[in-house]
Chain A
């Protein structure tokens, strides 16, 4: 049986596969090919979407979406060195839109909601992109690198006067 790296490169064009550490393989895919990649990997047995994350690469002007997939291994099957895949794709910071992966992995729903709130990424086709954590609207999504949390605290909370009796 061929390894998952070979399978991925055989099935997709322009995809980068590289081993980053023991048991972690990085798969870099294009934004358009994300859903088909995820679908393919799910059929290959990577049915557990552990995490959807986002890294704000502000100097390169992109958001790097990170999907971590692993296998549900059972019994005495000890994980081979292909335990987890780190699937990555990029969206431009100026226009952060991406198609939702909820149809492939149900787990992605709250994660994408969170990323919408924290990074301002719009997932088209998502069933509910409503606020998840925050109480008040913050102009700039707070997890972005250019959001200065200390300045925000200074302006919004420290400026409120103490109550004088």
Chain B
């Protein structure tokens, strides 16, 4: 960290301004926080986003409905699946396209797989920040196994563009179910090891307990969703509140914790991964036959009727929304993403960092799941 300026004279109590990121070993993603510190305590923190701003919403206004699919998945590189889902659901709402049942199930399987992949990436980032390189290596390897499944499904490792208005692009390949289950079993067999080395490790408990506490009132006042809210004991999950896809047709639980600190948030993530694995097995059990997509009109001449819609769903980091307006033309009139990291990284992070030690900056930031590209868009 670089010492920029001396704010106030007076021995150890003087206030210093430090830049944390964008080029910093503790920073995951291209993000920057300006910290005002006294001693090693953070007095005030100011988030400084915009390093990844590409003006997506402006670009989307200049491209046709179907051309926007490669764009939207790039809003968030960690979990592109939920971005595809939110945009295609919005387009379906506006155009009145229906999805066949098999398409809905396959979408949910794909979304749950990408949720696990995203959580594993988060686990890598978090454990690496705390110095648990081994656990990070395992998480990254297991994420890679899921990416291999995506590659088989669509040809792309990260950006898949699998979800399409009217369903999914193509049916599951032969034997995909078995291979998915094998991968999930392989990850599941490793859970005791994860527990032993990380989740039940005394070092993790001491680094994470009581750190970066966000109370329930604070989280609700500042737009917190996802793990931030569930770590305070509130069972708020869009999949339950406003079920999309087929989440109301299978039986699953919303894991919660009570304390609202970094420990609770990470444990919620762990429980969610396990819950997602169970959900995928249940989805495969009920998977119906039939077509996977309904035909849409010629995408090059596709005018969508005038109207507007707000779609929200539960991504791996919280509530993801899209406000989409059409003026009856071939291109969206206005699109605005409500990304979960936006309030987490800009409002809650600033509050949670105040009063904490400098060495916990990365710890708190990653436990809040701050993902820079989706803040900047």
Whether A and B are associated in the same complex: the answer reads yes
Q: Determine if B55 is an interface residue (Cβ-Cβ < 8 Å).
A: yes
User: For chain B, which range describes its interface: under 10, 10 to 19, 20 to 34, or 35 or more residues?
Assistant: 35 or more
Instruction: Determine the chain B residues whose CB is within 8 A of the CB of A135 once the complex forms.
Output: 50
Instruction: Determine the chain B residues whose CB is within 8 A of the CB of A50 once the complex forms.
Output: 223, 310, 312, 319, 321, 338
Instruction: Determine the chain A residues whose CB is within 8 A of the CB of B321 once the complex forms.
Output: 50-51, 68
Query: What are 11 A-B pairs with beta-carbon distances under 8 A?
Result: A20-B308, A48-B223, A50-B223, A51-B310, A51-B323, A74-B235, A83-B242, A106-B347, A109-B347, A111-B342, A135-B50
A-B contact count (CB 8 A): 104
- Tell me the smallest distance from the CB of B218 to a CB of chain A, in Å: 9
Instruction: Determine the chain B residues whose CB is within 8 A of the CB of A73 once the complex forms.
Output: 236, 241
Instruction: Determine the chain A residues whose CB is within 8 A of the CB of B308 once the complex forms.
Output: 20, 86
B223, A84: Cβ atoms closer than 8 Å: no
B338, A51: Cβ atoms closer than 8 Å: yes
Instruction: Determine the chain A residues whose CB is within 8 A of the CB of B333 once the complex forms.
Output: 55
- Tell me the smallest distance from the CB of B23 to a CB of chain A, in Å: 16
Contact of A110 among B57, B242, B310, B347 (CB under 8 A): B347
Cβ contacts B198-234/A at 8 Å (1 or 0 each): 0000000000000000000000111101000100001
In the complex formed, the residue of A with least CB distance to B219 is A72
A134, B338: Cβ atoms closer than 8 Å: no
Q: Determine if B185 is an interface residue (Cβ-Cβ < 8 Å).
A: no
Q: Determine if A96 is an interface residue (Cβ-Cβ < 8 Å).
A: no
Known: A53-B334, A79-B241, A86-B310. 10 other contacts (CB 8 A): A20-B307, A47-B221, A50-B312, A51-B336, A55-B333, A78-B241, A78-B248, A106-B223, A107-B222, A147-B58
Q: Determine if B154 is an interface residue (Cβ-Cβ < 8 Å).
A: no
Contact A21 to B93, CB < 8 A, known contacts A78-B240, A107-B223, A107-B347: yes
- Tell me the smallest distance from the CB of A63 to a CB of chain B, in Å: 11
Q: Determine if A34 is an interface residue (Cβ-Cβ < 8 Å).
A: no
Given the complex of chains A and B, what is the CA–CA distance between A66 and B241 in angstroms? 22
Q: Determine if B343 is an interface residue (Cβ-Cβ < 8 Å).
A: yes
Contact of B323 among A53, A70, A110, A145 (CB under 8 A): A53
Instruction: Determine the chain B residues whose CB is within 8 A of the CB of A66 once the complex forms.
Output: 323, 336
Cβ contacts B335-367/A at 8 Å (1 or 0 each): 010100011001100000000000000000000
Instruction: Determine the chain B residues whose CB is within 8 A of the CB of A107 once the complex forms.
Output: 221-223, 343, 347
A74, B236: Cβ atoms closer than 8 Å: yes
Contact A68 to B347, CB < 8 A, known contacts A50-B319, A74-B235: no
Given the complex of chains A and B, what is the CA–CA distance between A34 and B344 in angstroms? 25
Given the complex of chains A and B, what is the CA–CA distance between A134 and B234 in angstroms? 36
- Tell me the smallest distance from the CB of A142 to a CB of chain B, in Å: 6
A133, B221: Cβ atoms closer than 8 Å: no
Instruction: Determine the chain B residues whose CB is within 8 A of the CB of A49 once the complex forms.
Output: 223
Instruction: Determine the chain B residues whose CB is within 8 A of the CB of A75 once the complex forms.
Output: 235
A68, B223: Cβ atoms closer than 8 Å: no
Given the complex of chains A and B, what is the CA–CA distance between A131 and B46 in angstroms? 13
Instruction: Determine the chain A residues whose CB is within 8 A of the CB of B59 once the complex forms.
Output: 149
A68, B50: Cβ atoms closer than 8 Å: no
